[in-house]
Structure 1
Amino acid sequence: MDRIVIEGGARLEGEIAISGAKNSAIKLMAASLLTSEPLRLTNMPRLADTRFLGKLLTRLGAEVEERDGPDGAETVLQTSEIISAIAPYDLVRQMRASFNVLGPLLARSGQAKVSLPGGCTIGARPVDLHLSALRALGADIDLHEGYVYAQAPRGLIGAEIAFPFVSVGATEHAMLAAVLAEGETVLRNAACEPEIVDLADCLNKMGARISGAGMDVIRIQGVSRLGGATHAVIPDRIETGTFALAAAMAGGEVRLTRTRSDFIANLLDKMEEAGVEVTPHNDGVTIKRNGQRLKAVTIETDPYPGFATDLQAQFMALMTLADGESVIRETIFENRFMHAPELARLGADIAIQGGEARVRGVSSLNGAQVMATDLRASVSLVIAGLAAQGETEVGRVYHLDRGFERLEAKLGACGAKIRRLKGAEMIEDLTADA
C-alpha cells in the first residue's frame, strides 16, 4: 500500500493549476446515460473515482474514452443503448456517488437494479431522500437484499418535491431523473452548490429545460429525449481551497490558476481573518504568508455558500499553528473529526466534544507516522506535514487518489519536499532498516 512522505519546513513558491471538479465530473458522467448521443466532457480530472464510475458505466452499456483534447484532458461517453440496468455491489461500493446512476437508468429504460452504497466512514449518509424523490416522480421502488429495485414502465411523471433538509446528492439525483419525466418538476429546499449549476448547465446543453439552479427552488420542464453536447467541467473548489490552505500552512506565495475565487469566498474570508494575505485575480487567487503568526478563527460548516464541510479538516490543520483557541463546528456530517487524533500525533492540541472541536494552537508540529481515514482527512495530514519539523509519513493514501490529481507533483513543483513510496519501495526500506 502506497504512502506519502513529507519533509516539513519548505516554503511554497510558484503556481498551481486547478483541475476540474471531481464532485461535478462524476455526476456529469452519469448524465451520459440519459442520451444515445456522445457527451464530451472537457477539463476532466483523472482520478480513481472517475475511473471507478467509468467501469460501472461501461458495464451498463456506455463507451468511455479518455483522451487528450485541445483543451486538455477530456472524456467522451456514449451510451447508444443500455445493455444492462443492473449496478452491482462490487462496483457501487467503491464509490458512493455511483448510486446516482439509478435515476438516469430509471428515466431512460424504465427500470433499474442498483446496489445500496452502504455506510461511510464520515457518517451514515442515508439515501432516503434520493428514493423519496424518485417515488414522488412515480417510480415503484422495492428494497431487497441490499439492492434497490425501481420500475417506471410508463415513464416518470413531474412532481413537486420538498426536501426536508438540503442535500446535494438528492438534488442532483432528482434533476437527473426529472429531465425525462412528463410535465414539470419543482425541487424546493434544493442545494445551491456550484456543482448543481454545472450539472444543470450541461443538461440544458443536452436539451433539458432547467431553471433556478443555484437557488433553493429549481424548476424542470420534462422533455422526451436528450441529445449530445460538449461541456467543460467547472474548477474544483475543494482542490482550490486545499492548496490555498497548504500555501498558508507552509508559508510562501502560491498563485492558484484556472479556478474561481468566488467558489471559496467563505474560506478566503476566514483565511484573511487568520492573517493570511489573499489576492483574487481573473483566473484564481494568490495566497501569501511570510512567517507571521496565524490568529485563531472560529468556523461552522454549512451548505453552500457557507463554509464547506469538505474543507473543514484542512482548515483544522491550519489552526493547529494559530495563536489562541479556534472552535470548529461540524454541522453536515457526524463522525467527521477522525483526522483529529492523527493531527494530535503530530503534536496538535485538539479536544473533541460531539460536533465541536477546540483547537489550541501550538508553537510547532513534529513529523510522525499518521494514517488517512477518508479523502479530506488524508489531505489535512499532508498539509500539516508541510509545516511539521522532520518527516511525516501518511499511510492509506489511496483515499487521496480518489479526489486529488497529481497532488505530489503540484506541491513538489512549488518547492514542497514530498514523495510517494510505492508498496515495493516500502518493503525495500523496511529491509534496509532491519
Structure 2
Amino acid sequence: MEKFIIKGGTPLRGEVRISGAKNAAVAIIPAAILAEDKCILENVPSISDVDVALEILSSMGAQIRRLSKSKIEVDTSRIKDGTVPYELARSTRGSSYFLGALLGRFKKASVPLPGGCDLGSRPIDQHIKCFEALGAKTDIKHGIVDLSADRLIGTQIYFDKVTVGGTINALLACAKAEGLTIIENAAKEPHIVDLANFLNSMGADIMGAGTDVIKVKGVSQLHGTEYSVIPDQIEAGTFMVAAAATCGDITLKNVIPKHLEPITAKLRKIGVYVEIEDDTDNVRVVGRPHYEGTDIKTSPHPGFPTDMQPQMTTLLAMSNGTSMVTESIFDTRFKYVDELRRMGADITVDSRVAVVRGVDHLTGAPVKASDLRAGAALIIAGLAAQGTTEIEDIHHIERGYENMEIKLRALGADIVKRYYPDDEKMRKAL
C-alpha cells in the first residue's frame, strides 16, 4: 500500500514532457493482434493499464520486448487462442478492446467483462450491437463475453449514442471484414483517430476517423508496422490545471495544442494565461492569484472532456463566485467531492450537477482517491492547499499517469510516495 504525501503552497515552475496517451495506447496494443506480425510502438506510457494490456497479450502467446522505457516491440504472430484471463481483464476497462481485435483475427473471442474505474454504469450493449451487425453471435455467461462468427461481413452500423469504446471495437472488428462498413454517430476523440492511423499504417483502409461517419473497406491481411502513440491530452490538461492552481509557470512539451482546445478555452475564460508557442509542440501556462468561476458541461469530443472534469472542478473550488459543473457522461463521477470537502471545498452535488462555491483556500487533509481522475484532482488540491495532504489508494492514479510524483518534484512540488500498512488487512491476516 502506497500513498502520496504533499506539502502544498509551492508554485510549480519549469518544463514537463507529456507522455504517450493512455487512452490511445490501451486500444493500439490489442490492435497489434490483427497484424499477426511484429509491431514497434513508440511513446508508450509507462503506466499500469499498459502493463496489464501487455500482460494479457503475453498470456495469449505474444512476445513482448521492451526496447526502451517508451518503446516496445510486440510480436503477435504466435497467438493461437482468443481467450483473455479473467483476473487481468477485471483490472482494466481497456480489456474490452480485445473483443474486437480477437474477433477480427480469429472470428471468435472470449473476454471477461472489463473492470477499471467505478464511474457508474458503462454497458457494452453498443459494442455487442456492432459485433452482431457484422455477423457474430454473442453469448454472455458468468461474466464472460463469448463471440463467434463464420465470417465477418461489412455493414452499416449506427450507434444509438456516441460511444468511444464501441467505436474502437467497431474499427478493430471490421478492419478485416469482407466489404465496406460504415460507422455512423462515431466518437471523434483524438485516440480514435490515432487508432485508425495505426491500423492504416498496418494496411487497413479507414477513412473519416475524427468525424461522426467512418468508412472502413475491409482488407484480407494486415502487416507489422512502427508507430508512435500521440501525446496524452488528459495528462497535459492535468498539468495545465496544476500550474493554474498553484500560481505556477509551466511549459508543457510534446503536446498537440489542437487536442487541448476545449481545456484551453475554459482555462482562459476563468483568467489563466495560456500561450501556444508557434510552430512547436509546446504550451505555456501561467497561473494567477485569482480566477472567476464559470459553468462547465462535459460532452464527447470536441466538447469538454469528462476525464478533465474533476481537475477543473478542483480549480473552480478555489475561484471567485459560484460555478455549475454538469457531468453528462458518467453517473458517479462526483465521488471525489466528499474528499475535497474534507479539505474545505464548498461543493453541493445533486445527481449529475455540482454547484461549486469558491473558497479562499483549501487545507491539507487525509483523503482517498476513488478513481484515476479523482486522484489527479486530489493531487492538484494538495499542491494548492495550505498544509499537508495525504492521498491513499494511489494505485488508481498510477493506472493513467506516468511517474506523476517524479514529474511534479522536477517542477518544485513537495511530494513523496510512502509505503503504509493496511492495518485492517494485517489484522485479518493474523
**How many residues in Structure 1 have an aligned counterpart in Structure 2?**
421
Structure 2 CA distance for partners of 1:73 and 1:84, relative to 1, 3 Å: same
Q: Distance in 2 between matches of 1:290 and 1:205?
A: 44
Aligned partner of 1:244 in structure 2 is: 240
Contact 1:15 1:254 in 2 (8 A): yes
Question: Between the two proteins, what is the percent identity of the paired residues?
Answer: 43
Aligned partner of 2:58 in structure 1 is: 58
Which runs of no fewer than 5 residues in structure 2 stay unpaired? Answer: 424-430
Q: Tell me whether 1:285 sits opposite 2:283 in the alignment.
A: yes
Q: Distance in 2 between matches of 1:118 and 1:365?
A: 33
The CA deviation at 1:89 is 1.8
Which of residues 195, 198, 202 in structure 2 aligns to 1:199?
195
Summarize deviations over 1:22-71 as a string: whole Å, max 9, x none: 00001110011102211111011011000011111111221112221xxx
What pairs with 1:19-418 in structure 2 (closer than 5 Å)?
19-68=19-68, 73-117=70-114, 120-153=117-150, 155-281=151-277, 282-291=280-289, 293-418=290-415
Q: Distance in 2 between matches of 1:417 and 1:82?
A: 46
Structure 2 CA distance for partners of 1:349 and 1:166, relative to 1, 3 Å: same
Give the match's secondary structure for 2:114. Answer: coil
Contact 2:91 2:116 in 1 (8 A): no
4+ residue segments displaced more than 3 Å: none
Contact 1:119 1:125 in 2 (8 A): no
Q: Which amino acid aligns with 2:313?
A: M
Q: Which amino acid aligns with 1:413?
A: A
The CA deviation at 1:86 is 1.0
Summarize deviations over 1:123-172 as a string: whole Å, max 9, x none: 1100111111000000011112211111113x211010000110011000
Q: Distance in 1 between matches of 2:115 and 2:190?
A: 26
The CA deviation at 1:81 is 2.8
Q: Which amino acid aligns with 1:62?
A: A
Which runs of no fewer than 5 residues in structure 1 stay unpaired? Answer: 428-434
| Comparing 193-202 and 107-116, the one that deviates more | 107-116
RMSD between aligned alpha carbons? 1.2
Q: Distance in 2 between matches of 1:143 and 1:423?
A: 40
Give the match's secondary structure for 2:70. Answer: strand
Contact 2:13 2:248 in 1 (8 A): yes
The CA deviation at 1:119 is 8.1
The CA deviation at 1:118 is 5.4
Q: Distance in 1 between matches of 2:98 and 2:136?
A: 15
The CA deviation at 1:201 is 0.5
The CA deviation at 1:290 is 3.7
Q: Distance in 2 between matches of 1:400 and 1:33?
A: 28
The CA deviation at 1:284 is 2.4
Q: Distance in 1 between matches of 2:324 and 2:103?
A: 44
Q: Distance in 1 between matches of 2:76 and 2:45?
A: 21
Q: Distance in 2 between matches of 1:142 and 1:345?
A: 45
Summarize deviations over 1:226-275 as a string: whole Å, max 9, x none: 00001100000000000000000011210001101211111111111111
Q: Distance in 2 between matches of 1:120 and 1:349?
A: 25
Q: Distance in 1 between matches of 2:170 and 2:152?
A: 11
